[in-house]
Amino acid sequence: MSQYALRLPDSLLEMARKSAKREHASMNQLFVSAIAEKLSALETENLLNEQASLVDKDAANDVLARIQHAQIRAGDEI
């Protein structure tokens, strides 16, 4: 496992201390969890953008047009 010195504004450090205490976690656990969540969100965004770039927009619009005219059945509501 690696170490990394992190510089934080005092206000952010204080917020982190309070959050860690409230969550009964160490500061290290809080930071690792926060970084993992952020990286997961960024990777998900990248994956979705990659997938979106592969979409045939005309075909997708045709499907959406057909769906708009379809009958909504009980339980299918949004």
16-26: per-residue pLDDT in tens? 999 999 999 99
- Read off the pTM: 0.67
Domain count, the chain: 1
Nearest to 35 by CA among 75, 71, 76, 2: 2
Opening angle at CA 13, ends 4 and 24, nearest 5: 90
Q: Is residue 5, in this structure, part of any structural domain at all?
A: no
Residue 55 lies in a domain: yes
Could you list the residue range(s) of the whole structural domain that residue 14 is in? 10-68
Q: Is residue 77 part of a domain?
A: no
75: in domain: no
Mean pLDDT of the chain: 91
Structure tokens at 42: 């960024």
Q: What is the mean pLDDT of residues 50-67?
A: 88
